[in-house]
Amino acid sequence: MQDYSAVSYIQLIGKQVEQLKPILDKLGWAVPHPVNTVAVTAVYQGRVVGFFVLQLIPHAEPMWVSPEVRGTGIAEELLAKGKEILVESGAKGWLSICTNPFSERLAAQLGMEPAEKQGVLYVKQEENVKR
């Protein structure tokens, strides 16, 4: 078996992540948005042999509308204006945790799909972080 002890691990930050484009294209994956992206990258003999991309993906929630104005279209307008901001920022995607049928309908209006269509969503809450 080949000795890979000489692998170096570097961080590609921002636009540097575009260096992974040939591999991402071959896999049919999108190049992550350079803002708030870091790719921990394994390099061996000048060649990328692995990477793990960390992205801060916009989390589109929570949303709240006062009970007396619910049903007036305010939620939908907040949604539309929020989507404009996401699109203008260049976000390649966003996520939302829907906790009721109304929020599921709003997510569908954004063109979102349940995560099971994309894969399995895993969540980790770090226990050692001071709150």
Q: Domain map of the chain by residue range?
A: 8-55, 58-131
Both tokens assigned to 20: 């992974």
Q: Give yes or no for a contact between 97 and 61, defined as CB atoms under 8 angstroms apart.
A: yes
- In three-state secondary structure terms, 67 is helix
List the pLDDT tens digit at each of the 131 positions of the chain.
889 999 999 999 989 999 999 999 999 988 888 888 899 999 999 999 999 999 888 888 888 889 999 999 999 999 889 989 888 887 778 888 888 898 898 888 888 888 877 777 777 777 776 65
Both tokens assigned to 49: 């042999």
The model carries a pTM of 0.65
